[in-house]
Structure 1
Amino acid sequence: MNEVADLPIFELRPFSEAWLESTRLAWRTHIDKHEMFDLEYQRVLDAATNQINYAHPPNGSPMAYGVFRSGAADASAIVLIVYTPRPGPSRGWLKMLEVILSPQYDEFVISGDMEKYHDALQIFAAAISGTLDLRGTHRSKVVKLYGRNESMLKLLTGVGERIAARGVAGITVAMHGRWLVISEPGVRP
């Protein structure tokens, strides 16, 4: 991958135990340095410890993936993804439930910092495209991306409109409530 126009490259990838520990240390250091409230971050990091079994995840349980800046060992975000196997030709659903940005991208930290704001957009783009790429790993013909809050819902609506406007062959795109649903034609989401 090449960096374009000096934008950092981010990619979604599975955590190793070492990368998860590196992420925990980096996030903890940032929280302590900036005296941030850490309860939500700690909950996510603790849960991720039990969510990195990618080969045999418990049915319907989240898997924690990381969005990493090119060359980094600590994640800029944790993405919670659920794979639900289904009988029949649809093979399953892949759902991106939540993107939790690292404390360095907390909304109060990035306020007014256009570089961090652009990074945050790149992180969300990597989470979305990375989830779509996981269709081969977690056999599915349907990918659902959840708009957990208003910002994420607006982002997903814009992404859906952009994909639909491009007329990408081999996929159907629609908003179903707070879900952006991307599926192969003829598959019922």
Structure 2
Amino acid sequence: MYRLHWTLPELKLIFNQCVLSLLFSLQSNMLNQARLKVLKCREDHVQAALDEAQERLTELTKNKTKYKQVLQGLITQGLFQLLEPNVVIRCKECDVSLCKECVPDSVKTYRDSSKKECNVVVDQENYLSPELSGGVELYTPSGTIKVENTLEKRLALTSSQMLPEIRNNMFGANASRKFLD
């Protein structure tokens, strides 16, 4: 039942309880907003580091000696992932000659390790987008199986796998984290 008559001490008590409840609520909201700002800043720093890594990928392609080694490794890895007798390689238009140089060594490495023959053709009609830093895509001739080994895909894969380690290196260990998987 509702009371119509309240004594002054009862009203003061109710008022003080309301004020305290409001203050706790405001403090909790402000603390939560501060936590969200910190998390946003941390995420921005991680993203800036990944953006810098992306910029360095384009620098890598300018050094032809290093880029040739990377390209050969990407082709070899793609051959092992496909395990097909016939493979079509798609690369950027400016990388066609470099890809052709890498193919014999990659096929030899593949053949020596897997004991399987492999016929590799570099696609000279369809190219990867010029916006990509570099790398290759490997297909079966029918196009049913595809391995994307572009530098951007490799960076995305590596960064997603290493994100906890990246955060730990940048900001230290999170004391409230119980599991590291």
Higher relative contact order (CA 8 A, sep 6+): 2
Please identify the structure whose Cα radius of gyration is greater: 2
TM-score (norm 2): 0.24
Which structure features the higher share of strand residues? 1
